[in-house]
Structure 1
Amino acid sequence: MSPRKPTTQELTKEMIIHEAHKQFIAKDFHHVSMRSIAKELGCSHGAIYYHFKNKAEIFYAILGEYFSELNTTLENTVNGPEDSSTKLKNILVGYMAFGLNNQSQYELMFMVRDNEIDGLSQEAANLSYEKFAQSVQALSETELLLSDIHSTFIALHGFVAHYRHYVKNYEEAKEAVDVHARFLIKALIKVEL
């Protein structure tokens, strides 16, 4: 006897997000459909449309959780008890650690490109970047150029992109993360040429 399919009232957004998340990580965004999500949940794809208007909306809900986690990491670091220079280093290390500890999620947040989702994901990424830039500026002893903050962010992103799939997590790249963070701090506090 096959398991009973959940009705629309039993099917929750959380169930849909959980299943969609698994599929987005296992397959490319383009290879996941409302029907494939419904099939794994044992319900009709119409039941999913009761909760989400399309696949992009589900994807955005998942991204929202990831960006919230990253933003919370930034906030906790800025509000921590350490001095400003230690907090600045911790922000850089925290960003790289987040990316390396959550490689599949990081890819979804920053590396998946699709016309259907770019507007939504770009908005969340921009808000997260603004929080990063404000945090770095607030912890700097001097006024930083926006281009320097942006270059630092790109350097962090490049580090995570380079190490993803080569290490399992932050612990495996901890020494390289520390060296990269120190290098970036030196670049940020350099004397203007």
Structure 2
Amino acid sequence: MARRAVEQELSRERIMDAARHLFITKGYRGISMRSIGQHLGYSHGSLYYHFKEKAELFYAIVVQDFNHLNQLCTQVAKSPPMDGLTKIEQLMLEFIKFGLEHPHQYEIMFMLRDEEILAYCRSEQAKCFEIFESIVRKFLRQERHPMEDNSAFPLSMFLGVHGFISFYIQDRLTYEEVMPAAIAHVKMLSPSNYRLTS
């Protein structure tokens, strides 16, 4: 009965929200299951009902954040086109918007360098890139674009977008504050700059 009450009061989502905040502010090595429990006002034993170790908790957070970003990218592919933007430009802008509106999540997903946890992020980063690449290739095929068969092109765009986010995220600028620069950047990275001339 007591275990069931703990499960109802202390949900996985609540633990993950608190742990995400602590991972960001104190670093992965700087916190323990005990410190997460103290932050929530529960014994650390209560956390083990949901997560058997800190690494499992961290991975659950990483997966949740990547799933959110992947859903946003997939929605771009299904949404109607916006005036003045190609679908690929919309995709890149959505990626930038996510990074700047969720800087702490983005840092956990793409910018942590702790060897102990890097493997958790790498597998999800690869899945995220696969989704990004598949959307880019889909629209290049639809447009019969000359860069359609260039295997390095989607990665170059992905890295260009990541570089933009990494630069502006340091100053905690919002997406709205850098939107003109973001639009100019994706226009520069856009496949429309690589049309063959007749």
TM-score with structure 2 length normalisation? 0.85
Q: Within 5 Å, give how 1:16-95 maps onto structure 2.
A: 16-82=15-81, 86-95=86-95
CA contact (8 A) 1:17 1:62 kept: yes
Amino acid paired to 1:54: E
Q: What residue number does 2:154 align with?
A: 149
Gaps of 5+ in 1: 1-5
Bigger Cα displacement from structure 2, 140-149 vs 64-73: 140-149
CA shift for structure 1 position 25: 2.1
Q: What residue number does 2:119 align with?
A: 119
Q: What residue number does 1:160 align with?
A: 165
Distance 2:13 2:31 in 1: 17
Q: What residue number does 1:3 align with?
A: none
Amino acid paired to 2:133: A
CA shift for structure 1 position 49: 1.7
Amino acid paired to 2:44: H
Distance 1:144 1:166 in 2: 37
CA shift for structure 1 position 79: 0.7
Distance 1:107 1:13 in 2: 22
TM-score with structure 1 length normalisation? 0.87
Gaps of 5+ in 2: none
Bigger Cα displacement from structure 2, 113-122 vs 99-108: 113-122
- The match for 1:178 among 178, 183, 188 is 183
Distance 1:98 1:144, change over 3 A: farther
Aligned pair count? Answer: 186
Amino acid paired to 1:11: L
Deviations 1:156-185 (A, max 9, x none): 101100111324310000010000000001
CA contact (8 A) 1:13 1:51 kept: yes
CA contact (8 A) 1:100 1:170 kept: yes
